[in-house]
Amino acid sequence: MKVDLLVHAPHMYTMAGEGLGYCAGQSIAVDKGKILAIGPAEEIRGAYTAEKVVEAPHHVLLPGFIDCHMHTRHAVYRGIAQDMNNWMWAGMAPFESQSTSQTKAAGSRLGMAEAILNGTTTIGDDGPDMEGAIQNAIAFGVRGNISPRIREVDFAPYGPGELYRFYSELGQASLEDCVRLFDTYHNYDNGRIRILFGPQGADFVSSELMKKVCRMAKERGTRVHMHFSQGTREDEQIQKRYGCRPVAYLDSLGVIDENLIAVHLTSATDEEVALTAQRGATMVLCTSSIGVINGEVPPAKVFMDHGGIVGLGSDQSPGNNNHNMFNEMKLTAVCNKCKYGTPLIFPAWKVLRMATIEGARAIGLGDITGSLETGKAADMILVDLRQPSLSPVITSPMRNIAANLVYAGRGHEVDTVIAAGKILVEHRRPVTFDLDAILDEVQQEADIVSKKAEERFWATDSAIAQYMKHDQL
């Protein structure tokens, strides 16, 4: 039988079952974007022919990574906000407030390109003005799980503790934009593109709009993706406005349920984490970003201890500063070990599952992607094990492949990236996008935005503004 694609590699992690589903000498046949068959190499070679055959002699085949939470557009100002307090308003806002739709679309191209080159096949993108990001995901061939942002607050320079003003016209316009994008793109290309509803957080929309958004998402059979208990800034706003903490507030609105993807939980207490998990919401853990921005390790362990599902997210490039799931895996393992003072927790195999199948489950795509099983989408990557960081390969008595992917992998070892059966990257070279053009365009946009950000940047007098003055950057 003739199929679209055959992939042969000596090692495979399927993520089927409860472990990693390792198998040796198995191959995969792909047709119409899906996995048609998995079996011993000789059987697959005997049963199928294909236009395109990928022979990967010293590689491991595994599901493409699921990046559950990203703001790809921010790649335009990578690395301009870290090592500082008041990250959002003193770090990001001077630049973000100067972004046009063109800036965002260009940034999104770089953020997605970076993620894909490092093995991500599902982009969980979140932000305002997402037409460009959606078009990028469509063009690049990657799976897009896109949350257009709903927000009632402007970009005025709010100081710490100052209550945001709500502008109902901003909320209404952003909701309408989300609905328009949902109507236009949801389930595009056999479900490769999915549109979620993305209220920015409890502090950025009014109670009425929050309830409405969550109801509308449910009516449309899609999820709500939201920053959730993300730090003292949100705590203060909610306390000031409603006299309680964010989780209690959101629970009183009835919006913490199995339709909610709760991102961060940075400042949630153990009781609040337990409640969120018990209500059936899922959690996204952005270890690297929250570590840099807040100096905190979010309570993913507590969430999982209460039966919750946790995926990983790279968040954004100012204050992470990259979109690379290898970075997320290593930091997630190490930061949690250090938080709890034991090397036993967050072992490599659990973290590798969080970056693949658990991530897919966390964002509602567990039946579609995240593991290599017959009938699921052909979203997969080949990682070259003949790289210094991943060599040698030991399979007995200890198999070192998963441990090295998590603790030593850097991202450039990803040789081939396949999403929905289509090759996006081959031998480290992008097939579906022009990296040179993207880099040029982003540099131009960065030059424009940086110039406009100047006055407000210096006015912040932040730690990094001080560093600039003292030859420390």
Q: How far is the CB of 212 from a second copy (least distance, A)?
A: 35
Residue 226 main-chain phi, psi, to 5 deg:
-150, 140
Question: Cα–Cα distance between 470 and 125 in angstroms, integer?
Answer: 36
State which residue, 218 or 452, has the beta carbon closest to a second copy: 452
Question: Cα–Cα distance between 12 and 23 in angstroms, integer?
Answer: 5
Q: How far is the CB of 90 from a second copy (least distance, A)?
A: 11
Q: How far is the CB of 79 from a second copy (least distance, A)?
A: 3
State which residue, 167 or 458, has the beta carbon closest to a second copy: 458
State which residue, 102 or 450, has the beta carbon closest to a second copy: 450
Residues 122, 360: contact at Cβ < 8 Å?
Answer: yes
State which residue, 68 or 390, has the beta carbon closest to a second copy: 390
> How deeply is 436 buried, as exposed, middle or buried, from its count of CB atoms within 10 A (0-12, 13-18, 19+)?
exposed
Q: How far is the CB of 340 from a second copy (least distance, A)?
A: 7
CA distances from 180 to 186, 246, 371 (A): 10, 29, 31
State which residue, 178 or 446, has the beta carbon closest to a second copy: 446
CA distances from 464 to 80, 287, 459 (A): 8, 22, 12
- Which residues lie below 8 Å from residue 183, measured CB to CB, with a gap of 6+? none
Q: How far is the CB of 341 from a second copy (least distance, A)?
A: 5
DSSP state of 163: P
Q: How far is the CB of 65 from a second copy (least distance, A)?
A: 15
Work out the number of other CB atoms within 10 angstroms of the CB of residue 122: 31
**Is residue 12 within a helix (H) or strand (E), and if so which, with residue range?**
strand 11-13
State which residue, 135 or 391, has the beta carbon closest to a second copy: 391
State which residue, 243 or 388, has the beta carbon closest to a second copy: 388
Taking each helix axis as running N to C, give the angle between helix 435-460 and helix 101-117, from 0 to 180 degrees, rounded to the nearest 10: 120
Q: How far is the CB of 329 from a second copy (least distance, A)?
A: 12
CA distances from 364 to 151, 233, 259, 379 (A): 23, 29, 9, 16
Q: How far is the CB of 62 from a second copy (least distance, A)?
A: 13
Residues 109, 441: contact at Cβ < 8 Å?
Answer: yes
State which residue, 222 or 321, has the beta carbon closest to a second copy: 321
Question: Cα–Cα distance between 271 and 67 in angstroms, integer?
Answer: 27
Q: How far is the CB of 229 from a second copy (least distance, A)?
A: 16
Question: What DSSP string runs through 378-443?
Answer: --EEEEES-SGGG-S---SSS--HHHHHHHT--STTEEEEEETTEEEEETTEESSS-HHHHHHHHH
Taking each helix axis as running N to C, give the angle between helix 131-140 and helix 168-185, from 0 to 180 degrees, rounded to the nearest 10: 20
CA distances from 113 to 75, 122, 442 (A): 10, 12, 12
State which residue, 27 or 320, has the beta carbon closest to a second copy: 320
Q: How far is the CB of 440 from a second copy (least distance, A)?
A: 9
State which residue, 177 or 373, has the beta carbon closest to a second copy: 373
